[in-house]
Chains A and B, each alone.
Chain A
């Protein structure tokens, strides 16, 4: 499509898109894994990278390459769930508060602000400790979503507030468009870049939180994610033992993921910015 071609001209998008595509393929490879990720001792321990084991093996006797495919897959799942659910909440809250104003706005903002000032990290840690046994991917995603919408709700609300004063809102009203349709059709094109860039940022945040929770030992260690594989490596003293392939794999993958997500978010939001968009859509 034309949009993709335009975006690919930006080197940041091109690079990050490629990296993400590769990581996605990498994650999909997990479906073909010859090993079950929760089992140990299916390979010889602590082997260096070789042709039989591309990234070597770890002290639990698992092939690191295939573990990593699961790790990336699971981290992505968590972050996608966290990102999308929190977007939905943020958009709903932001739009309703921004458009209605008055009491609805005040109540919603009170709730939003409460979430903002809460010590998120402590509460997540607390909750994670409490539900550690029942923590699976989806639950973790939802937990992170529950705490990740507040800031962006405020951002979207401000956008709506400023749009409400613009003249085309009146034109739409004079054209007979009712409120809900008006908000969707007139304001969404402005809100979309916000939603996109915050989605990607939120995903990156979710991955980071997951890794942090894992390092603190609060995740379910049986499920391989970027965080848990890193935590296993640390707890088995991989650095001291010189098992660098075990330690580096999750680190490199995480860094690649972060950088790619960041560049993607930056290039997309620049592309979608209404100011540059209007320059592109017209001849004048």
Chain B
């Protein structure tokens, strides 16, 4: 995956998206995505990690162009690379966006029930889906396509005859993922698809995502706070904290040699089997996105904080091949090259 000339599928430029809330005269601005620059490559599984309230879900929404008030796009761009051309999705018309969605980029939400119509059998949902995007002559054709698709992914085609509530939670989630992959999109974006699922079921879902990626050779962007899932799935991981990307690298690097103090704490605090030695978690509390500290957002909790940390926000700079960090200390204390 560390192909020097790896092609980019999707990238952002200084993306900023804030929630502007106004209740009874007081305004509150939540800086959920505060200047994010990432490049996601083709044929890779990119994981976005971070805790609740770090902005990763908002980042996903911005990537998918699902921005609705009170969320507003303040600055920056989201560019998709389609057939060699860069397209700014926020400049597209509604119809163009609609076609882009599901065919080029699809979205897997956290709860499967928000995608599946509870009063329709799955085969009807699949058929409607296909019909609205692909020209097919007969209903039977759509069913055939759906059946073949499920079979290839290792799911029992008989579930098509069922209603969503008749299936177990895990099966529903997998069916939703299969639906998202139906039109063979080049990019799939998943928002915590395995959270709230049982461990064994979670494994099945992850298995499914991996087999889809291997089959379609597309890009999957997965957001989850579960580092174990990232370890098992991702090729590269980006760690988000307080609205900014603070570290990004291959999965081996992030787990074996994390550079940012926050990532270090995070990796060290993960319990491992066979090891009962006492562990420590990150000191302090995560900041509120409405009242961010000055400079580096981690500095109030960082044991290595020095002067530049308190005043200036470090840029995400390449420190090693395929490994970027936003930290004054990790980057050598000087102005590092911008990525």
Contact = CB atoms under 8 A, between A and B. Distances in A.
Interface string A262-284: 00000000010000100110011
Contacts of A276: 23
A63 B144 CA distance: 86
Contacts of B288: 283-284
Interface string B1-33: 000000000000000000001011100000000
Contacts of A279: 21, 23
A6 interface: yes
Contacts of B24: 6, 9-10, 271, 280
B24 to A, nearest CB: 5
A6 B26 CA distance: 10
A9 B25 contact: yes
A280 B24 CA distance: 9
B145 interface: no
Contacts of B25: 6, 9
B22 to A, nearest CB: 11
B92 interface: no
B162 interface: no
Contacts of B290: 283-284
Interface in B275-333: 288, 290-291
Contacts of A283: 288, 290-291
Interface residues of B, number: 7
A284 B287 CA distance: 10
A6 B290 CA distance: 21
A271 B24 CA distance: 9
A284 B23 CA distance: 13
Nearest to A280: B23
A283 B289 CA distance: 10
A186 B336 CA distance: 55
A166 B95 CA distance: 44
A275 to B, nearest CB: 11
Interface string B100-117: 000000000000000000
Nearest to B26: A280
A280 B291 CA distance: 16
Nearest to A7: B24
Nearest to A9: B25
Nearest to B53: A284
Interface in A235-282: 271, 276, 279-280
Contacts of B21: 279
A6 B21 CA distance: 16
A218 B27 CA distance: 54
B18 to A, nearest CB: 16
Nearest to B25: A9
A271 B288 CA distance: 25
B53 to A, nearest CB: 8
A194 to B, nearest CB: 21
Contacts of B23: 276, 279-280
Contacts of A271: 24
Contacts of A284: 288, 290
A11 B290 CA distance: 28
A35 to B, nearest CB: 46
A55 to B, nearest CB: 39
B32 to A, nearest CB: 13
Interface string A208-242: 00000000000000000000000000000000000
B201 to A, nearest CB: 25
B332 to A, nearest CB: 36
Nearest to A6: B24
A276 B288 CA distance: 19
A10 B25 CA distance: 9
Contacts of A280: 23-24
A276 B25 CA distance: 13
Nearest to A10: B24
B209 to A, nearest CB: 32
16 contacts: A6-B24, A6-B25, A9-B24, A9-B25, A10-B24, A271-B24, A276-B23, A279-B21, A279-B23, A280-B23, A280-B24, A283-B288, A283-B290, A283-B291, A284-B288, A284-B290
Given A6-B24, A284-B288, 14 more contacts: A6-B25, A9-B24, A9-B25, A10-B24, A271-B24, A276-B23, A279-B21, A279-B23, A280-B23, A280-B24, A283-B288, A283-B290, A283-B291, A284-B290
Interface of B: 21, 23-25, 288, 290-291
Interface of A: 6, 9-10, 271, 276, 279-280, 283-284
9 closest pairs, A vs B, by CB? A9-B25, A6-B24, A9-B24, A284-B288, A279-B23, A280-B23, A283-B288, A280-B24, A276-B23
